[in-house]
Amino acid sequence: MLKLLHVKAAILDWAGTAVDHGSLAPVIALERLFAENGIAVTAAEIRRDMGLLKKDHIRCILAARGVADEREVERMFAAFVPKQAQILAEFSQPIDGVCEAVERWRAAGMRIGSTTGYTRGLLEIVRERAAKHGYSPDASVAADEVPAGRPAPFMCYRNAVDMGVYPLWACVKIGDTPADIAEGRNAGMWTVGITRTGNEVGLSKAELERISAAERERLERQAADRLMAAGADLVAGAVAECDAAIVEIERRLAAGDRP
């Protein structure tokens, strides 16, 4: 059993971290959106800015093609939302081990929060489905409920307020994208990057099981390098494997270290 005196809370991302192994739902919806608008985008292009509020994500993809028309961003975002909503229910299953990890952390006195690049309306679809499968964080904040989404820290701040936890250096942000890491760092929290189940590897559980162990190791190592370069304090393959990271953060806090 975990014994914690200093770590107060973990704030988890959703897709690729807590649910949706490989963070597939946003990729599928954005591919369809851009294809219908006559724009071919690759999964790698979409994944580059994953974690942002989806309107900002669309803006980044268009900007990379020299399109800076805000009316076009608004039009495409309006078309994106129902497309994403149509498929979200298929991708709201908690990733293996998430529910059990959350139970361990709560037993140790931690609170569990969450942030996302989805809007509140989209998040509600995911949240309700995930709850039926046993995952229900104590707080959930969407990017359209705060002044700015990632990499701004406001969703983390609101989680802390909603859960009544402080100081922020006693909290851990866990996510699978550089945007998650930036969000946590900007909030003054410790950060843990998720590799195997997340956006940086970008494979479903079934796809991951079909490749060789050597290839899985290579992909995870690349993901870890990218997340550490973004400023992650620690990395783990999955939320289920974050206990060691939390214990290490507890040790650092006890020694007087701060993120």
DSSP string, 231-243: T-SEEESSGGG-H
Measure the CA–CA gap between 129 and 87, rounded to whole angstroms.
Answer: 12
Measure the CA–CA gap between 216 and 221, rounded to whole angstroms.
Answer: 9
Residue 1's pLDDT is what?
Answer: 77
Residue 162's pLDDT is what?
Answer: 98
pLDDT per residue as tens digits for the range 57-108: 999 999 998 888 899 999 999 999 999 999 998 999 999 999 999 999 999 9
For 78, the token pair is: 């309006």
Minimum mean pLDDT range among 11-20, 51-60, 205-214: 51-60
Residue 75's pLDDT is what?
Answer: 95
What's the burial of 247, exposed, middle or buried (CB within 10 Å: 0-12/13-18/19+)?
Answer: middle
Please answer whether residues 199 and 43 qualify as being in contact, where contact means their C-beta atoms are separated by less than 8 angstroms: no
Please answer whether residues 38 and 67 qualify as being in contact, where contact means their C-beta atoms are separated by less than 8 angstroms: no
Mean pLDDT value across residues 112-140: 97
Residue 3's pLDDT is what?
Answer: 87
170: region left, alpha or beta (phi > 0 left; psi from -120 to 50 alpha): alpha
Give the three-class secondary structure for 73: helix
Angle at 193 between CA 137 and CA 146, to 5 degrees: 50
Query: CA distances (Å), 205 to each of 94, 96, 199, 219, 222, in order?
Result: 12, 9, 12, 14, 18
pLDDT per residue as tens digits for the range 132-149: 999 999 999 999 999 999
Please answer whether residues 61 and 34 qualify as being in contact, where contact means their C-beta atoms are separated by less than 8 angstroms: yes
Task: For domain 25-90, give the CATH number.
Answer: 1.10.150.240
Q: Indicate which residue of 8, 20, 49, 54 is catalytic.
A: 54
**Residue 174: beta bridge partners?**
12, 192
Reply yes or no on whether 83 is catalytic.
no
Averaged pLDDT score across all residues of the chain = 96
For residue 259, cis peptide bond before it (omega within 30 degrees of 0): no
What count of other Cβ atoms lies within 10 Å of the Cβ of residue 78?
A: 10
Residue owning tokens 């293996």: 96
**Position 201 pLDDT exceeds 80:** yes
Residue 144's pLDDT is what?
Answer: 95
Residue 89's pLDDT is what?
Answer: 87
- At position 169, the amino acid (one-letter code) is W
Domain with CATH 1.10.150.240 in the chain: 25-90
Among the listed residues 237, 245, 17, the one whose alpha carbon sits nearest the alpha carbon of residue 135: 17
Residue 209's pLDDT is what?
Answer: 96
Mean pLDDT value across residues 193-200: 97
Measure the CA–CA gap between 175 and 163, rounded to whole angstroms.
Answer: 19
Mean pLDDT value across residues 197-209: 96
Residue owning tokens 């900002």: 56
Domain with CATH 3.40.50.1000 in the chain: 9-22+93-254
Reply yes or no on whether 132 is catalytic.
no
Residue owning tokens 């359209």: 144
Matching CATH number, 9-22+93-254, of 3.20.110.10, 3.40.50.1000, 3.20.20.80, 3.90.600.10: 3.40.50.1000
Q: Indicate which residue of 13, 49, 138, 233 is catalytic.
A: 13
Among the listed residues 114, 143, 145, the one whose alpha carbon sits nearest the alpha carbon of residue 130: 114
